[in-house]
Amino acid sequence: MNIDDSLSDHIRILETHKKALTKLSIKTVRDLLYHFPVRYGDPSQTNTIANLSPGSSAVLFGTFSGLKMSKAFRKKIPMAQARFSDSTGTINVVWFHQPYIAKMIPSDTPVRVEGKVSERKGEIYLSNPKVERLSALPAVAGDSLFGENGGEARLYPIYPETRGLTSNWLYHSVQKIFKSGILEQTQDPIPQNILERYHLPPWKTALVWIHSPKNQSDALSARKRFAFEEVFFIQLLKQQEKRLWKEHGAFAIDKKREDLENFISNFPFPLTKSQERAIDAILWDFRKGHPMSRLLEGDVGSGKTAVAAAAVQAVYTTRPNGQSFGNLQTAYMVPTEILAQQHFESFIKYFKGSGISIGLITSSGCRKFPSKVNPSGWTDISRNQLLKWLANGEIPVLIGTHSLIQKTVKFKHLAYVIIDEQHRFGIKQRQALVREKSASSPRSSALIPHLLSMTATPIPRTLALTIYGDLDLTILDEMPPGRKPILTEIVLPEERGTAYEKIRKEIRGGRQAFVICPRIDLPDPTKELALNVKSVKEEAKRLEKEVFPEFGIGILHGKMKPKEKESVMLDFKAGKIDILVATSVVEVGVNVPNATIIVIEGAERFGLAQLHQLRGRVMRSTYQPYCYIFSETKSGNSVARLRALKKAANGFELAEYDLAQRGAGELSGGKQWGISDIGMEAIRNIKMVEAARQEAATIVEKGAGLESFPQLKEIAEKTEDRIHFE
């Protein structure tokens, strides 16, 4: 009997549960035990229809009938309606803005509803209640569904809603595991002394407390323990990675900023102090003979490319060890084809006249600068030719998309790897580029390239300390001079006309605009959730016909062929298109300085950090930039959240705000970082993150490695699987 046994060895799993369990990635007993409730219900607080009073909130058990979709009286708000009954009576239930609910709950299925009791014309009803399907109703209303019969009254767990799995089923399955004796046979993964130091409950106790606590404070202390546990394991793993990484050898590149002065003076601008500091930090790392692993974090438009390029010059002008000819090589990986092309073009500008060859590789073809016929331009070349020149060292700089990671792409002396917008790549992709691309000769295979990761995703400090625990951090906290702060406006539906007039004025003055929509095609009417989301194609047509007939309008989205995208981007850059209607593909790094206006449709669907990045698209010149946030909802929360965009001075501030605003259980944004909801609770707590980091560092420093903690190692490996950074 083992905690990593398949769940089906211990619990009878019906066909209907299987799909739901797969969706939740619950395969083993451990997975089930680590699937935590989002909150708890108190059995003593259950109501009946007969004793409801308006203005209060209520928990009821019963069934629905007559579920239907409709439009609310006068205002045309989509809604769902139903009758709800228990043994004491029947009332009306309505859900505004959620018409699809009517389809999700079959009539006559036992449910638990929780929501606000409202009153209209003397009649009480429930509005927008949460609904959870149950396998059975409690025998008597007010009874605990989960009661141990005569035992102490416990709170009952409410798990995240999932189709096909009720909280009731999860509760009983967990209880069965508790009784099986598995817990007794499992060692606490956190060392005893650490638990004591932070007053955290032992593993077994914490599991019982989190799934069926006697009171809220037990539940809280269990959550704290598991939050700590998760961050602690991530830290262990990262600290270990860092240590191993620094043990490798790397090409020693011995350059100072003075050596790069000529190159840097070719930039059409002087560097900011921040950029200079970043270059110094990189050159310092380069000298050490151990591989750099540095994260360059800077708001959109802070000029990360120039920093990366200056370091390329240092690499390019260094000979391979013991050689008096040839150059060390650089690989520059970016997430989209448009970006790869854009960087290729910028690099040609920066390196023109230095005699350097630069390659470009994407899924739609390869290019090389300079072209034989035109020494100041590039030419298309075959993939084979490019790979050959790369492998024999004749192309010192290769820029590309995911195509860079393919096995056939081999360098001779790969010394420096740049990963742009690194959060868009999986950890495996990043490792592939760094570890497997070094030359195959046995002597140099011990050398690992220096790694520069770049990101504009502003994240809170606690999160950076956790997920980037293995990297050294440099922040570009200064914008190039002369940039005007962006004017951001939240535009409600009735204010659109005014906003469009302001935009018209700017475009007449020669500027260009982005309009960002969340969808490509017209919404599929069968998908209820997509109802109000604007589509790129539809919106482009509408703008052309009804709003801006005098301007050139183009579209750009992820489903277009790379060649089509490129030609649209070129037209936009060349000013042949005034307004580019696009999905959020333009989120990543596109540089069109003359585009100074961005309109974001359906803004409530984007995260604050994403909105901020979108907004960065138009902050690339000395013209006044404008951002119009078009919001469909008037919900107080959404609007307040969007308002933060107006005030925040930079992305980091915004990220802290987002973290502080969202309550526990609402932090699911952590998924993109490979952190669970409970782990995100730790991320809100700087003390907890620092403690976990400190403890992990001490263990790794002792040189004990993870081997002396077999239990830790196992879980750390699992954690690694989960961290995917997509």
Residue numbers at the binding site for Mg ion (CB under 5 A): 589
Binding segment (CB under 6 A) for ligand ADP, from list 133-141, 223-231, 267-275, 411-419: 267-275
Q: Which residues contact 556 (CB under 8 A, 6 or more apart)?
A: 536, 565, 568, 569, 572, 580, 581, 582, 583, 585, 586
Calpha distance 549→207 (Å, rounded): 63
Q: How far is the CB of 625 from ligand ADP (least distance, A)?
A: 12
Closer to ligand ADP by Cβ: residue 157 or 480: 480
Closer to ligand ADP by Cβ: residue 479 or 579: 479
**Structure-token pair, residue 84:** 């709800």
- Taking CB under 6 A as the rule, does residue 272 contact ligand ADP? yes
Q: How far is the CB of 266 from ligand ADP (least distance, A)?
A: 12
Q: How far is the CB of 339 from Mg ion (least distance, A)?
A: 7
Size of the site for ligand ADP (CB under 6 A): 18
Closer to ligand ADP by Cβ: residue 321 or 346: 346
Calpha distance 184→33 (Å, rounded): 14
Angle CA 287–466–211, to nearest 5: 160
Q: How far is the CB of 297 from ligand ADP (least distance, A)?
A: 10
Q: Which of 313, 318, 335 is nearest to 397 (CA)?
A: 313
Distance from CA of residue 153 to its chain's centroid?
40
Closer to ligand ADP by Cβ: residue 52 or 310: 310
Query: Which of 271, 358, 448, 451 touches ligand ADP (CB under 6 A)?
Result: 271
Q: Which residues contact 151 (CB under 8 A, 6 or more apart)?
A: none
Closer to ligand ADP by Cβ: residue 318 or 453: 453
Rg (CA), the chain: 29
Closer to Mg ion by Cβ: residue 298 or 469: 298
- Taking CB under 6 A as the rule, does residue 620 contact ligand ADP? yes
Which residue shows structure tokens 């909801």? 677
Start-end of H helices in 392-460: 427-435
Closer to ligand ADP by Cβ: residue 50 or 574: 574
- Taking CB under 6 A as the rule, does residue 584 contact ligand ADP? no
- Taking CB under 6 A as the rule, does residue 573 contact ligand ADP? no
Q: How far is the CB of 210 from Mg ion (least distance, A)?
A: 42
Which residue shows structure tokens 């959870």? 132
Query: Which of 221, 591, 650, 685 touches ligand ADP (CB under 6 A)?
Result: 591
Closer to ligand ADP by Cβ: residue 416 or 709: 416
Q: Which does 30 bind (CB under 5 to 8 A by kind): Mg ion, ligand ADP, none?
A: none
Contact 414, 329 (CB under 8 A): yes
Q: Which does 370 bind (CB under 5 to 8 A by kind): ligand ADP, Mg ion, none?
A: none
Start-end of H helices in 409-514: 427-435, 461-467, 496-508
Start-end of H helices in 482-531: 496-508
Site string for ligand ADP, 280-319 (x = CB under 6 A): ------------------x-xxxxxxx-------------
Question: Three-class SS string for 171-233?
Answer: HHHHHHHHHHCCHHHCCCCCCHHHHHHCCCCCHHHHHHHHHCCCCHHHHHHHHHHHHHHHHHH
Distance from CA of residue 228 to its chain's centroid?
21
Query: Which of 480, 602, 625, 674 touches ligand ADP (CB under 6 A)?
Result: 480
Q: Where on the chain is the footprint of ligand ADP (CB under 6 A)?
A: 269, 271-272, 275, 298, 300-306, 456, 480, 589, 591, 593, 620
